[in-house]
Amino acid sequence: MASPTTAPGIRLGWIGLGSMGNAMAKNIHRHLVAQGLPPLRFFNRTASKGDALEALGGTRCASVAAVAADSDVIFISASDDEAVQSIIEQIIDSGPGDIAGKTVVDTTTVHPDTTKAATARLRRAGADFAAAPVFGATPVAEAGRLLVAFAGAAAAFERVAPFLEGVVAREVLRVGEAPEQAMLLKTTGNFLMAGLMELIAEAHVFAEKTGLPAAAVEALLERNFGAVAHSDSVRMSGVYLPGRGQAPWSGLDLALKDVGHGVALGRRAGAPLPAAELALGHLRRAKAWAEEEVEGKRDGGNGGSGSAAAPRALDSSSLYGVVRQDAGLDFRTEFVKRRDAE
């Protein structure tokens, strides 16, 4: 089958510039410029997050409705289900005449029920809807090497495909025509990743307690278990607990949401996910650790009682700190302690 081609003069819009959304939006904008197409239109609630994209030549819009009115394809990259629902409402409220015949693509990881409801609402308004959740952390997004799970009508895929593989993604997995199917695959990937993260954390703690060099474990993971396992292993060195003011590769709150969706869906389907339940419990304890650190409830706490400081932004791999604690080790590695002290 011939490769999808880009429609002449097609206008793209982007809503949501978190760390992942920002990286994807920049790559798409660069591609548009290289193809001689109109620049990417964008909106983000926190305006300053769009400064870098605007500096590249992106067109800042005043609202979600303005993006919807001036774009043929509208991408969404939000934080959670509530944010996606709000954006969909604003797109629809921009007026049926503004979105009829347009394509909305959600890259956010949300509950399949949220996607199913959005599909019905947008189709009633005359727009196509597709789900395209992504696999990969921020550095992978910046490199344009994400894995995308795509589900939607064939016409929607033909329209969107030129801006996915080779632009934001190394590959696109076609899941089906019902958009919620992509979210089910992403949910499956999330609890697989959480289980893998748990195993790798345990392996590193086992190595530390038995005297096995961490470098040997990391080399084994890279050469025998592949790039994903190696990337998770690298996080255990210090990424799992970013320094204050540093951004995580993938946020803990997102992991709690994503793995939580999987656990809830498993229970509803009568398919328990004990490995995901274990990882979810450790993620919750990691979040509690960050909150206690601010409150000064233990050694190494910052801020003290009544401090206005926000909890440190932990990575989704921060369950490593909890696995360390359960083995009698400090949540913080020696590397993290030295880094924080500096």
Active site residues: 186
Residue type, 30: R
Nearest by Cα to 233 from 247, 245, 223, 244: 223
Phi, psi of 119, deg, nearest 5? -60, -50
> What token pair was written down for 315?
């990575």
| Cα distance between residue 189 and residue 170, in whole Å | 17
DSSP secondary-structure letter at 104?
E
> What token pair was written down for 181?
């199917």
Nearest by Cα to 170 from 150, 149, 133, 144: 144
Neighbours of 308 (CB within 10 A): 6
Work out whether strand 59-60 and strand 73-76 pair parallel, antiparallel, or are unpaired.
Answer: unpaired
DSSP secondary-structure letter at 46?
S
DSSP secondary-structure letter at 103?
E
